[in-house]
Amino acid sequence: MFQGEFSNSMDGKGRVSIPAAFRDELKRSYGDERLVITRTPHNECLVAYPLREWKRLQSRIAAMRPSPELRAYKRVIFSSAQEYLPDRQGRVLIPQGLRDWASLSKSVQFSGFGDTFEIWDKAKWEAQLEIDVQLARNFELDV
Protein backbone atom coordinates (compact mmCIF):
# COMPACT_ATOMS: atom_id res chain seq x y z
CA MET A 1 0.00 0.00 0.00
CA PHE A 2 1.30 3.43 -0.93
CA GLN A 3 1.04 5.82 1.96
CA GLY A 4 2.72 8.99 3.09
CA GLU A 5 3.68 12.32 1.59
CA PHE A 6 7.06 13.02 0.06
CA SER A 7 8.51 16.11 -1.60
CA ASN A 8 11.12 16.01 -4.33
CA SER A 9 12.59 18.45 -6.82
CA MET A 10 12.16 18.05 -10.56
CA ASP A 11 15.16 18.97 -12.67
CA GLY A 12 15.05 21.16 -15.76
CA LYS A 13 14.62 18.14 -18.04
CA GLY A 14 11.51 16.95 -16.19
CA ARG A 15 13.16 14.15 -14.23
CA VAL A 16 12.00 13.47 -10.70
CA SER A 17 12.90 10.73 -8.24
CA ILE A 18 10.14 8.40 -7.14
CA PRO A 19 10.35 8.30 -3.33
CA ALA A 20 12.37 5.37 -2.01
CA ALA A 21 9.41 4.21 0.10
CA PHE A 22 7.27 3.94 -3.04
CA ARG A 23 10.01 2.14 -5.00
CA ASP A 24 10.39 -0.28 -2.08
CA GLU A 25 6.63 -0.88 -2.09
CA LEU A 26 6.71 -1.60 -5.83
CA LYS A 27 9.41 -4.24 -5.26
CA ARG A 28 7.88 -5.72 -2.09
CA SER A 29 4.22 -5.90 -3.08
CA TYR A 30 4.44 -6.17 -6.85
CA GLY A 31 7.90 -7.64 -7.54
CA ASP A 32 8.20 -5.13 -10.37
CA GLU A 33 9.33 -1.51 -10.35
CA ARG A 34 7.49 -0.66 -13.57
CA LEU A 35 4.63 1.77 -13.30
CA VAL A 36 2.26 3.69 -15.52
CA ILE A 37 1.85 7.42 -15.03
CA THR A 38 -1.16 9.19 -16.48
CA ARG A 39 -3.44 12.12 -15.87
CA THR A 40 -6.70 11.82 -14.01
CA PRO A 41 -9.98 13.62 -14.70
CA HIS A 42 -10.57 14.04 -10.97
CA ASN A 43 -7.77 16.49 -10.12
CA GLU A 44 -4.98 18.43 -11.80
CA CYS A 45 -2.38 15.88 -10.80
CA LEU A 46 -0.87 12.70 -12.18
CA VAL A 47 -1.59 9.17 -10.98
CA ALA A 48 1.03 6.41 -10.91
CA TYR A 49 -0.16 2.81 -11.12
CA PRO A 50 1.99 -0.25 -10.49
CA LEU A 51 1.88 -2.20 -13.75
CA ARG A 52 -0.32 -4.92 -12.21
CA GLU A 53 -2.86 -2.33 -10.98
CA TRP A 54 -2.86 -0.66 -14.40
CA LYS A 55 -3.66 -3.97 -16.09
CA ARG A 56 -6.42 -4.58 -13.53
CA LEU A 57 -7.90 -1.16 -14.36
CA GLN A 58 -7.72 -1.92 -18.09
CA SER A 59 -9.60 -5.20 -17.53
CA ARG A 60 -12.30 -3.50 -15.46
CA ILE A 61 -12.77 -0.84 -18.12
CA ALA A 62 -12.90 -3.42 -20.92
CA ALA A 63 -15.72 -5.22 -19.10
CA MET A 64 -17.85 -2.08 -18.74
CA ARG A 65 -20.83 -1.21 -20.87
CA PRO A 66 -19.93 1.48 -23.44
CA SER A 67 -21.14 5.00 -22.68
CA PRO A 68 -20.14 8.55 -23.57
CA GLU A 69 -18.71 8.98 -20.06
CA LEU A 70 -16.62 5.82 -20.36
CA ARG A 71 -15.26 6.93 -23.75
CA ALA A 72 -14.34 10.31 -22.26
CA TYR A 73 -12.65 8.65 -19.27
CA LYS A 74 -10.67 6.34 -21.56
CA ARG A 75 -9.51 9.29 -23.66
CA VAL A 76 -8.31 11.17 -20.59
CA ILE A 77 -6.33 8.35 -19.03
CA PHE A 78 -5.21 6.13 -21.93
CA SER A 79 -4.07 8.91 -24.26
CA SER A 80 -1.60 10.23 -21.70
CA ALA A 81 -0.51 6.93 -20.11
CA GLN A 82 3.16 6.02 -20.30
CA GLU A 83 5.02 3.09 -18.80
CA TYR A 84 8.15 3.81 -16.79
CA LEU A 85 10.98 1.91 -15.19
CA PRO A 86 12.84 4.23 -12.80
CA ASP A 87 16.54 4.60 -13.60
CA ARG A 88 19.29 3.63 -11.14
CA GLN A 89 18.71 6.84 -9.16
CA GLY A 90 14.95 6.12 -9.02
CA ARG A 91 14.12 8.88 -11.51
CA VAL A 92 11.50 9.01 -14.23
CA LEU A 93 11.23 11.58 -17.00
CA ILE A 94 7.78 13.16 -16.98
CA PRO A 95 6.96 14.40 -20.50
CA GLN A 96 6.11 18.04 -21.04
CA GLY A 97 2.43 17.34 -21.76
CA LEU A 98 1.92 15.63 -18.41
CA ARG A 99 3.95 18.30 -16.60
CA ASP A 100 1.72 20.94 -18.18
CA TRP A 101 -1.48 19.07 -17.25
CA ALA A 102 -0.51 18.88 -13.59
CA SER A 103 1.20 22.31 -13.60
CA LEU A 104 4.32 20.61 -12.24
CA SER A 105 7.12 22.97 -11.34
CA LYS A 106 10.38 22.37 -9.52
CA SER A 107 8.67 21.36 -6.24
CA VAL A 108 6.80 18.08 -6.65
CA GLN A 109 4.68 16.35 -4.03
CA PHE A 110 4.09 12.59 -3.99
CA SER A 111 1.03 11.39 -2.10
CA GLY A 112 0.21 7.78 -1.28
CA PHE A 113 -3.27 6.74 -2.37
CA GLY A 114 -3.53 3.05 -1.46
CA ASP A 115 -2.83 0.97 -4.55
CA THR A 116 -1.68 4.04 -6.52
CA PHE A 117 0.10 7.29 -5.75
CA GLU A 118 -0.40 10.82 -6.96
CA ILE A 119 2.12 13.34 -8.26
CA TRP A 120 1.23 16.98 -7.59
CA ASP A 121 2.71 20.41 -7.92
CA LYS A 122 3.52 21.17 -4.28
CA ALA A 123 1.48 24.40 -4.11
CA LYS A 124 -1.53 22.72 -5.73
CA TRP A 125 -1.21 19.81 -3.30
CA GLU A 126 -1.29 22.13 -0.30
CA ALA A 127 -4.41 23.89 -1.63
CA GLN A 128 -6.13 20.55 -2.38
CA LEU A 129 -5.21 19.18 1.04
CA GLU A 130 -6.99 22.11 2.71
CA ILE A 131 -10.13 21.32 0.70
CA ASP A 132 -9.86 17.61 1.47
CA VAL A 133 -9.45 18.20 5.21
CA GLN A 134 -12.73 20.14 5.20
CA LEU A 135 -14.51 17.39 3.21
CA ALA A 136 -13.05 14.63 5.37
CA ARG A 137 -14.55 16.18 8.48
CA ASN A 138 -17.97 15.14 7.14
CA PHE A 139 -16.91 11.54 6.53
CA GLU A 140 -17.56 8.90 9.16
CA LEU A 141 -15.92 5.51 8.94
CA ASP A 142 -17.86 2.70 10.55
CA VAL A 143 -15.43 0.24 12.12
d(CA 61, CA 6) in angstroms, rounded, equals: 30
- Determine the Cα–Cα distance for residues 3 and 94; give it in Å rounded to an integer: 21
Tens-digit pLDDT profile for the chain (143 aa)?
999 999 999 999 999 999 999 999 999 999 999 999 999 999 999 999 999 999 999 999 999 999 999 999 999 999 999 999 999 999 999 999 999 999 999 999 999 999 999 999 999 999 999 999 999 999 988 77
Going from the C-alpha of 114 to that of each of 25, 40, 125, the distances in angstroms are 11, 16, 17
Note if the pTM is more than 0.75: yes
CATH class of 5-136: alpha beta
Domain edges within the chain: 5-136
